[in-house]
Structure 1
């Protein structure tokens, strides 16, 4: 993956279609979707369940391939990458935060955050410094040795965010990151993501339903039946 950082938009989506099934069972998950994301912004992706939000996030992050159209992230054409290239993209440029936290139960908070850095073979001293800085950033410096089962849901999600930031990604994709949290905890997690965008300089694309959380975003993209708001049906 030799392309350097993008000079224009960090993310550029052009004419993306994604269809599942055939015949009467056909589902048009994405229909001719196009937009750009500016570097260093927090963008809320809003739509009802089944609107195409998760499919769009997966296509942008290289977890799914569109049937047509192109996606570029940080100067790299995601839709042209082979499996090795997609793995490098997710290791070096794109990170994920999910509803279900996805932490490794037997590892401490610090070990979970440091796992991507171990895979990248970062030297131990440098890795420990980075992990310490990230746990401090998410307000969990005093919980480094606790395992996920000893943490609240909100704390686990903060660990997941710290882990997602470990390798200094350019794009952070969060799919309903507050879906399993109460309203107050969810708002604090969204406020944390807002702060991360400003302090780490990442671009965050966050799917959510919550109007209070949407208010924290720099921009809102609304999707309905696989089309962005304002698109006309063909």
Structure 2
């Protein structure tokens, strides 16, 4: 039996204390199978982003255990969490997060430069990824010269640069029009299949839910399959 790539058990996360405390996550438990795309669905403030941040090592749970690709991340120090994000987990955000002064190719290659990947290997990987997201002809353009949909495609290519095991996307189509959003969602579905990556995507878009292998709903910090 294949071991889940993400295992979450009894996770709680509370912000603040006393009567004004916000219980963002309440006894959350679930698994994510490798090579699947899971849609995490819920209203604003339901706990989606907190859950993604805890799984990806950007935040810490108050209680419970979390394992990503066999690593118990609740036991990692800050260096260990940084290594996790560098080697196993990649993020795609609403706001793209590209470096304005770098070209599309340079943005995609940035994680590989940090990893000191040899130039020839880096250039080959960047070329492959830009082709994968349909932007081979835009390699030398800077973010300001690209549309919102194109910028998000560059962000997806950059997230895949270091061949992560888990791709976390927090409302990746939130700033895109409906048609562009659909094309980006279809791209994410294709990436799961072509790159063998596992994707955990927060969304409220019915199209993304239809493309996902599994839909998990979250409300008031609790999960509902």
For 1:69-218, list aligned pairs within 5 A: 69-218=64-213
CA distance in 2, matches of 1:11, 1:22: 29
| DSSP-derived class of the 2:211 partner | coil
Question: Taking structure 1 as reference, are residues 77 and 7 closer, same or farther at Cα in structure 2, changes over 3 Å only?
Answer: farther
Q: Deviations over 1:93-126 (max 9, x none)?
A: 0000000000000000000000000000000000
TM-score, with length taken from structure 1: 0.95
2:216 alignment partner in structure 1:
221
Dislocated runs of 4+, deviation >2 Å: none
Question: How many residues were matched structurally?
Answer: 225
Match of 2:60 among 58, 65, 75: 65
TM-score, with length taken from structure 2: 0.99
CA distance in 1, matches of 2:223, 2:187: 27
| DSSP-derived class of the 1:48 partner | coil
Runs of 5+ unmatched residues, structure 1: 1-5
| DSSP-derived class of the 1:215 partner | helix
Shift of 1:22: 1.1
CA distance in 1, matches of 2:77, 2:143: 34
Shift of 1:213: 1.7
1:21 alignment partner in structure 2:
16
For 1:35-74, list aligned pairs within 5 A: 35-74=30-69
Runs of 5+ unmatched residues, structure 2: none
Shift of 1:7: 5.4
CA distance in 2, matches of 1:169, 1:59: 17
CA distance in 2, matches of 1:118, 1:229: 41
